[in-house]
Amino acid sequence: MSKNTKVTDVFSAKKVAIPIVIGLLVATYMLWSKTDWKTFQQIDLNYAMFFWLLIALLMMVIRDLGYMYRIRVLTDNKLSWRQSFDVIMLWEFASAITPSVVGGSGVAMFILNKEGISLGKSTAVIMVTAFLDELFYILTVPMVVVLIGTTYLFPIELSKEIAGYTLSTKEIFYVGYGFIVLLTTLILYGVFVNPLGIKKLLYRLFSFKLLKRWQKTVIQLGSDMIKTSQELKEKNSWFWIKAFAATCFSWTARFWVVNFIILMFTDVGSHFLIYGRQLVMWVIMLISPTPGGTGIAEFAFDGFLKEFIPFGLAGLLVVLWRLISYYPYLFIGAIILPKWFRKRAD
């Protein structure tokens, strides 16, 4: 099966329909069971509400502009702003229709390559993007813990069995954070220190019978690290400052969307706690088997942020959050995709 065919399969009508159907079902349930319409009718619709709504939308614009700027930096400005827009929107589209544990990185590599970026450089861009995203998370979590502690970060109790052990919400978060640290350290060492050594280590580790089924994938990861190392070894400090600054702006804007949605309906006493809760939510959503975390995201929002939401409006705020932060990528991607394929795909 060709790479084109695989990518077309990812963007098939069925793959797009699944998150839409799941999302509509979850939204209907939330609006029906988690929304008190009598309470909603008592809300005074005023200019302040529309102001905070515009600010929430602005946060999404900043998020995407940050990603577009970063992709231009990482490709040495070989992509125009329009090309960067197409790449980011299609990348987000792919992420929205695939499970969170899969993501859209493979599709993004194909898209970059079709936009004229060499395979080696496309590999480097994808790997560095992942590295910068994880680095932001690794650095942000300790700051949140120092400033607000862990007492109020885990308002709901979940349980999940991993490798025979049943983990609580806090333990799931710690395991997820530890995995992100391990993955980032592996990328850091593999890309900047010893890519060939990492490839050999991965080959030996995945030669065991229990891990043999993933050997081909991790060997490709090792090869990607070597290509990435060759692409990045001559980059200066300014390159990394610009790329990481764009990463920080994008992720911060993404998380602040929720704060401004809540501000539409009520005053917020602890913005930073809401921000910290979202860091925990993000790890939970990473293990979601549904496309774009659909279903898991909505229930996590209701559980983790319930105390900040006016009584009877949880369902409405959940749906509004997803309408702003998730569904636009489905619709924009669906509009861009056919034209892009006609222009770029062989």
Measuring CA to CA, which residue among 338, 333, 334 is closest to residue 88? Answer: 333
Q: What is the pLDDT of residue 1?
A: 46
Q: Tens of pLDDT along 267-282?
A: 887 888 999 999 988 8
Rounded CA separation 226/228 (Å): 5
Range of the domain at 60: 3-344
Q: Tens of pLDDT along 74-132?
A: 999 999 999 999 999 999 998 888 876 556 777 888 889 888 888 778 878 888 898 99
H or E element, residue 3: helix 3-10
| Segments of the chain with pLDDT less than 70 | 1-10, 100-103, 158-166, 210-211, 214, 345-346
Q: What is the pLDDT of residue 246?
A: 97
Rounded CA separation 210/68 (Å): 41
Which residues is 165 bridged to in the sheet? 162
Residue appearing with tokens 């939308």: 57
17's CB contacts (< 8 A; 6+ apart) are none
Report the phi/psi class of residue 292: left, alpha or beta, with left for phi > 0 and alpha for psi in -120 to 50: left
Rounded CA separation 20/261 (Å): 22
Cβ–Cβ under 8 Å, residues 315 and 34: yes
Q: What is the pLDDT of residue 238?
A: 92
Which residues is 168 bridged to in the sheet? 159
* Maximum separation of any 2 CA atoms in the chain, in Å: 65
Q: What is the pLDDT of residue 341?
A: 83
Q: What is the pLDDT of residue 110?
A: 86
Q: What is the pLDDT of residue 199?
A: 78
* Number of structural domains in the chain: 1
- Angle between helix 13-33 and helix 296-305 axes, rounded to 10 deg: 30
